[in-house]
Structure 1
Amino acid sequence: MNISFLGGACEVGGSSILLKISHKNILLDCGIRQGAAKDPIPDFKIIQDNGGVDAIIISHAHMDHIGCLPIISKEYPMAKIYTNIMTKDLMKVLLYDSLKIMNNRESEIPLYAEKDVKSMMNRVVPINYMVEFNIFDDMKICFYNAGHIAGACCVYIKSSEGSLFYSGDFSLFSQRTVEGLKLPKLRPDIGIFETTYGDRLHSNREVEEQRLIDIIKECIE
């Protein structure tokens, strides 16, 4: 088993991990870096150097996890994309919205075209939570509710070479629209966890909800 971080390590944005396991190359997320300071695209040369991508797994629909998906899917059209069904719906909305923004910026060349999004969406295989699914003969994946946003998944991969757990972004506490993280007891050989803001104390949710309500009231007035 070999793991390469193409983006998202020691930085916020561009989350993308290449996992070589049981003679297959699995791409975990394919996000974009947002901001002018860095190259927006993860280090895809690592993928080329390792012989391409056999399958893609998406944890959730935020752009820092899906923003470059049309690019890599166009490059490797035989690689199916596995995610939760709600994530599939949100991906379509967000990628088309991102395309509209890129097309409206005169100084920016769009990273992908509408036809690339359409082709990519045809390669998406939606999977429900807590269902083991064979993506190859000797490899199964299972998604667990990660909280965070609708459709967000933690990913558990089992293969003849070992098992791996990948969290993506997760939230331990239930929100008004999304339940919190739900996991059974798992025994992975390797665990990869999203740790953005993991070293901070978060504000009380009720206080933040009231603050949002006050801002909305102010805007209405």
Structure 2
Amino acid sequence: MSDLHFLGLGGTDEVGASSYLYRLAEGNLLIDAGARPGSIGDAALPQLELLKEHPPAAMILTHAHLDHVGALPVVIRRFPKLAIYCTEATARIATLVLGDTLKVTTMQGQPLFSAGEMKRTLERLRPVPYFTRVSDHGFAFTLFPSGHLLGAASVLMESGGRAVFHTGDVSNISTPVVDAAWLPAAVTPVDAVVSESTYGDTLLPSRK
């Protein structure tokens, strides 16, 4: 896959600062830009300086938890015209999470962004429905329900005749708030899967 590269900016071996860059033949796609809970200032951010060499053509939010959206206004500070795609629910929840992030980091004396930067970021959000193929940037992508949180999505990317499935944070158990992750009726071939694995080596107790 010489024309398809993956670069982890954060969240690859930790919970926090999740941010992933896919360098595709038609352009770069950034997925998520989270903050590290418990860290202050620049220490809370992904390695966003790596985007200087590989500026994103578009961005996707998988869901609105802090560790996936907390650094979003810092990205938009650097790329003010960047289109950010997500579900409608993610856009609404991200508004609350970013507002809380601004409040908390300001109280800590090291705000990650300003109120104006947060406003400009929210104006860049482009809600798209699940199962809708978007191909405005050369490459194409489709969002699928991934459980986990209201509005959460997995991403199927298509580039140069190849397909990559990025699960985002995923849950295969329904809750009172959100259904389990959607599964196709038949096996769907892809060239690569990039999977969330926070509890991949852990046997969790029953929710009951």
TM range, smaller chain: over 0.9
**Residue equivalent to 1:180:** 180
**Residue equivalent to 2:10:** 7
Note closer, same or farther for the CA distance 1:102–1:36 as it changes in structure 2 (3 Å cut).
Answer: closer
Q: Which of structure 1's runs of 4+ aligned residues deviate more than 6 A?
A: none
**Residue equivalent to 1:198:** 200
**Residue equivalent to 2:149:** 149
**What letter corresponds to residue 19 of structure 1 in structure 2?**
Y
TM-score, structure 2 as length reference: 0.92
What secondary structure does 2:111 align onto? coil
The structural deviation recorded for 1:135 is 2.9
The question of whether the paired residues in 2 share the 8 Å contact of 1:32 and 1:64 is answered with yes
What secondary structure does 1:187 align onto? coil
Q: Pick the aligned partner of 1:95 from 62, 77, 98.
A: 98
CA deviation string 1:124-169 (max 9, x = no partner):
1101111112232x32211111000100000001122521111111
**Residue equivalent to 1:123:** 124
What secondary structure does 1:39 align onto? helix
**Residue equivalent to 1:45:** 49
The question of whether the paired residues in 2 share the 8 Å contact of 1:142 and 1:157 is answered with yes
* Relative contact order higher in (CA < 8 Å, ≥ 6 apart): 2
**What letter corresponds to residue 33 of structure 1 in structure 2?**
R
2: CA distance, partners of 1:24 / 1:146: 25
The question of whether the paired residues in 2 share the 8 Å contact of 1:145 and 1:154 is answered with yes
> Is there any run of 5+ residues in structure 2 with no aligned partner, and where?
none
In the alignment of these two chains, the number of paired residues is 202
Structure whose alpha-carbon radius of gyration is higher: 1
The structural deviation recorded for 1:5 is 0.6
The question of whether the paired residues in 1 share the 8 Å contact of 2:83 and 2:126 is answered with yes
1: CA distance, partners of 2:76 / 2:39: 24
| Percent identity over paired residues | 31
The question of whether the paired residues in 2 share the 8 Å contact of 1:29 and 1:57 is answered with yes
1:58 paired with 2:65, answer no
TM-score, structure 1 as length reference: 0.87
**What letter corresponds to residue 191 of structure 2 in structure 1?**
D
CA-atom RMSD in angstroms: 1.5
**Residue equivalent to 1:114:** 115
> Is there any run of 5+ residues in structure 1 with no aligned partner, and where?
207-221
The question of whether the paired residues in 2 share the 8 Å contact of 1:70 and 1:112 is answered with yes
